[in-house]
Amino acid sequence: MYADRILKHVESAYPQQVEFRQAVAEMLHALSPLLRKEPKYEKYAILERLVEPDRQVFFKVVWADDKGKVQVNRGWRVQFNNALGPYKGGLRFHPSANASIIKFLGFEQIFKNALTTLNIGGAKGGSDFDPKGKSEAEIMRFCQAYMDELHRYIGALKDVPAGDIGVGAREIGYLFGRYKKLVDGFEGALTGKNLDWGGSLVRKEATGYGAVYFAQEMLGARKEGLEGKVCSVSGSGNVAIYTIEKLWQVGAIPVTVSDSKGMIYDKEGINLDLLKEIKEVRKGRIEDYAKNKKSAIYTPTKDYKAGTNGVWGVPCFAAFPSATQNELSELDAKTLLQNGCKCVVEGANMPSTAEAVQAFLKAKICYGPSKAANAGGVAVSGLEMAQNASLHTWSFEVVDQKLHTIMQDIFTNSSQTAAEFKDPTNLVLGANIAGFRKVAQAMIDQGY
Ligand code: GLU
């Protein structure tokens, strides 16, 4: 079969790229019923063309630390597909970043961006630079050195990077400042900018708010809701913080957060002001949360049961994995289900392992895969591009309303597509087919 042939090719061509192969395998599996019905995709070699990025740039980034020592990091930008619009996707600065992780993120981004209903293609980039423990000046110098190379490949109508793990408004500021000097022009070649110089309201909140809007749509279709419900959230970055903010706003009770060192369980619910103070102002670790709040229990990662993430051991109605890829194992999925979890919404990219995804689908709970559920972030990036292009600034209410409508549309599109293929609760199938059909048709229309 067509999908199997392509998967075999990817496995033998990229044996080391574990995460990339995982993302491709999930996608091809979900597309099988469509590919059986529609021979045109094979005729136009759409899968062969989609699994190879249009262009990949791999470069070194040389900068000097505060002691004057010269440091070298690796940088990537993978431009996957621009059938629907300029390449678009974040930059991840994290020591674990490698060619496989950046490629899986870029591949996912093609279909996620297609689902947003906006005209944006898919890309991703990053570096193995670790911003943790670096001074402000070191971060600025690194961002400037990174942009010295990246500026050649990006532009408002060409490729528009944004943030991801380790890249927030501060880093985007330094990247933008250097870009502006190098190209001698002020243009929206990056999103996630600060509000006074071209950023959009709601961009910071967008991924978290969007994930909760998506949860409400999934639950609403089953005549359920989040009010009064205990929710578990992993991570403590931008996605986690604004998932927690929106959960409180809709009357739910978020009880957990985590970072790479450990997790917090607060039975009274996570105090949002304290969390923001620790993470956004002090840029500290969540261990400090327990030092400031009596009801909070801190568990270090080394005390987690083998093969599990402690966050998923806390009984909850809904789980919001918002940290990173493969942070939720099959064992975690089984524990969540045994404890009565009815809803899993992925704020991070591909946080559930392939086996965990199968467990959720088998149990037929509300499962929102990342491609659909975390598209709110890039959707508001698309709205930022629209505001930059028209020189307009929209109010918080206007952008939030547009985000809400986009998340509703993504749910409707994914669930109607799943129903069309006689598997109505399977949003993995629905989201993948809906995103793919749009991109593939654009590719066919535009020729090869
Ligand atoms: N990094 C985010 C994502 O995974 C946002 C990308 C963007 O805004 O371009 O979708």
Cα dihedral 326/328/329/331 (nearest 10): 170
Residue 46 burial (CB count, 10 A): 23
Quick one: CA dihedral 25, 26, 32, 38, positive or negative? negative
The protein residue with its alpha carbon nearest to ligand 1, atom 8, reads: 378
- Per-residue pLDDT, 215: 98
Q: Compute mean pLDDT per 10 residues along the chain, 448 residues long, and list them.
A: 96 98 98 97 98 98 98 98 98 98 98 97 98 96 98 98 97 98 96 97 98 98 98 98 98 98 98 97 95 97 97 98 98 98 98 98 98 98 97 97 98 98 97 98 98
- Quick check: CB of 162 below 6 Å from ligand 1? yes
Start-to-end Cα distance in the chain: 23
- Per-residue pLDDT, 262: 98
Q: In a mutational test of the pocket of ligand 1, which residue from 103, 158, 164 has the highest number of ligand atoms less than 8 Å from its CB?
A: 164
State in Å: Cα 89 to ligand 1 middle. Answer: 5
CA 217, 218, 221 angle in degrees (round to 5)? 80
Chain center to CA of 428 = 15
- Quick check: CB of 200 below 6 Å from ligand 1? no
- Per-residue pLDDT, 55: 98
Question: What is the residue type of 237?
Answer: G
Q: Which residue of the set 124, 193, 279, 371 is catalytic?
A: 124
State in Å: Cα 378 to ligand 1 middle. Answer: 5
Which of 429, 441, 419 is closest to 27 using CA atoms? 429
- Per-residue pLDDT, 343: 98
Question: What is the residue type of 403?
Answer: L
Q: Is 124 a catalytic residue?
A: yes
- Do the Cβ atoms of 245 and 272 come closer than 8 Å? yes
Q: Domains in the chain and their CATH numbers?
A: 54-184 (3.40.50.10860), 206-373 (3.40.50.720)
- Quick check: CB of 88 below 6 Å from ligand 1? yes
State in Å: Cα 122 to ligand 1 middle. Answer: 10
Q: Scan for tokens 């619009």, then name that residue.
A: 85
- Quick check: CB of 241 below 6 Å from ligand 1? no
State in Å: Cα 63 to ligand 1 middle. Answer: 26
Residue 251 burial (CB count, 10 A): 11
Q: In a mutational test of the pocket of ligand 1, which residue from 119, 381, 410 has the highest number of ligand atoms less than 8 Å from its CB?
A: 381
- Quick check: CB of 190 below 6 Å from ligand 1? no
State in Å: Cα 161 to ligand 1 middle. Answer: 8
- Quick check: CB of 325 below 6 Å from ligand 1? no
